[in-house]
Amino acid sequence: MRDDCSEDEEGKSPWLRLPFFLLLWIGLLDLPHHIASVGNDTSWQRCLGYFLTHRFQCGVDYIWTYGPLGYFVNMVYDADLFWWKYAWELGVKFAFTWILWRWSRALRAGWMRAMFLGLTLYCLAGSVDTLYLICLVFMGLLPLRDAGCRASSRLLAGTILLAILSLTKFTFLLVGVGAWSVVLCAPGLTWRRRLLVAMGYPLSLVLVWTLLGQSLAHLPRFVSSSLEVARGYGEAMAKEGRIEPVYLGLAAGLCFLLFATVRPFSVLRRRENLLGIALLCAGTFMVWKHGFIRQDSHTAYFFGFLVVVPFAAEGLLGGPKTRPIRVLLLATTIVLGIVGRGIPLPIPWASHLLTNGIFALAPTRLARLLALEQKVLADEWALPKICGIVGNRPVDLLTYSQGVLFLNHLNYHPRPIFQSYSAYTSDLMEVNAAYYRGDRAPDFVLCRLQPIDDRFPAMEDSAALLEIFRRYRFVAQEKGLLLLERRDDKPTNAAESTVLLQKDIAFDEAIRLDEFGASAKLLSIRATDTFRGRLTKALFRSPHLSLDVTTANGEKHSFRLIPIMTETSFLVDPLLRNHDDLESYFLGGPLPRIRSLSIHADPEARNCFENRLSITVREFQRE
């Protein structure tokens, strides 16, 4: 194991390095600057703060891929947590800056150290997920490379920080466990230090979990429910984009692998190097999936990671100072990463640094500005009629826009999967449906029909939506929100819906629904993946399917179809397209009726599914 991070080299000009260290620290800060209202992301981020302050049990009261500390890795304002968020940013980002700075000392060439820190500051400032992921990876690599990081005090501090970060997001928990395993298996540790690592991480994880008010019995539930959410994410949240970034990403990934492996076999076969390469490859694959499942908006995460990660391989594996092929591969990977990510514009980037510097020194000013902005949004989204009816009684909101609830100080009692688009497996849908059937169901539900990605509207959280149709009645509407109140009479749950049609169909085969009368109809669809389909989902993302419907008056509509979501029955007829249709449904008004439907897939997508699709049409009785 090489320990060539010399203290003499670090001590030559500390006063010249200090300003850049502070600049890097300030640049990596992500202070709160969003206010939650009707937006999707800001709403769920604000919910995480609400769950933390109200001691909601993770994995039970709410099911999400963020843990009890998940609020702190986002940038939404919560007045109750503002100072905790401010302290988190200063403390955690100082630790990240130290980690990155320490790793730069593992790079032999001065130009490479300068490039690494410069690219980190320029490309990772404001890129929260990428920054956390790369720092978690470095936390696993540092003890392999740096003898100073194998001191007992630093190992203990590292395991505690690793445990804290693991409770922010399930992805970070997986990477944290990987980093902990690498450190645990690192050569050169005394048995006392290895025992410290072995016991320190799980004990810190359990201690922080309980200090946050979480029941220890619910920790396995958090892991299992997060796995269930992750299981359906690749199919339900897939968003296609241009093919060029995919090829660019593959080329960049290939260059990184070549860069990491173009070294003598005697170097690669060392245990510490094998451990480090395994962690780097796992992190790269994870960020590849994260970046290209929702390609339209997430590819920057992957390319931002690729810009920095070759420096991790260089510091880990080392080698001769001059090796033209390595330098060429390093330069190619960095260029491809920057091109794929997009070059940050200098003015917004400089503005980010300046704003961070001002508010880091004047946090009360930031808090005051955010409070004023929140007041403006509260006036804009004030719901006096709804608030007068609901009072302090419990209320939930379908599908998202929970920020409106917080702006109106309503008593929020969410279903477990609290944003409808994420209830995409049968088990997750049943958890939400059971919530509305049980005694914990809220007295009121606010509805704002907002399907994402052009999905069929009634497909999202379909089982819960059907329970709402059965158990709630329309009360009022205000600013695009329907207020529903729980009915006193309880519908029977035992009656099974009458099956109207059950058959296998081919893609683009039309199914007539008007032949089955005027009753409301439920539809379920089961598609079987081919081997190619399973491989595509595992390594890339799910292909696109669409549900094409024709109404009784001849109008044609096409919606995104998610096979994993359609295994649970959803209301297909009448057609609910928006807020007005939902209001008409509760009030018994006229609605578009479906004459026929078909399922469409492009030729490339058809290769990922068996030729026959199993569909079932049932009659839906609200009473």
Residue 409 has a pLDDT of 96
Beta bridge partners of 397: 446
Amino acid present at 599: I
Task: Quick: pLDDT tens for 589-611.
Answer: 999 999 999 999 998 899 999 98
Residues counted in the chain: 623
CA distance 292 to 374: 34
Tell me how far apart the alpha carbons of residues 106 and 10 are, in angstroms, rounded to a whole number. 11
Per-residue pLDDT reduced to its tens digit, 530-559: 999 999 999 999 999 999 999 999 999 999
For the cut 80, the answer to whether the pLDDT of residue 416 exceeds it is: yes
What values do phi and psi take at 473, rounded to 5?
-125, 155
Question: Going by C-beta distance under 8 Å and a sequence separation of 6 or more, which residues neighbour residue 292?
Answer: 245, 246, 249, 298, 299, 302, 540, 541
Q: Determine the pLDDT at residue 327.
A: 84
* Token digits of residue 93: 């980002």
| Burial status of residue 229 (CB atoms within 10 A of its CB: 0-12, 13-18, 19 or more) | buried
Give the whole-angstrom CA distance, residue 519 versus residue 617: 12
Give the pTM.
0.93
Residue 16's pLDDT is: 63
pLDDT at 211: 97
SS3 of 413-441: the string is CCCCCCCHHHCCCHHHHHHHHHHHHCCCC
Of the given ranges (88-97, 107-116, 450-459, 540-549), which has the lowest mean pLDDT?
A: 107-116
Buried/exposed code over 490-513 (b: 16+ C-beta within 10 A; e: otherwise): eeeeeeebeebbeeebebeeebeb
**Statement: residue 433 has pLDDT above 50:** yes
**In Å, what is the CA distance from 131 to each residue of 143, 299, 319?**
19, 14, 26
pLDDT score of 340 more than 60: yes
Note the pLDDT tens digit of each residue in 511-530: 999 999 999 999 999 999 99
Beta-bridge partner residues of 506: 612
Residue 100, both tokens: 């990155």
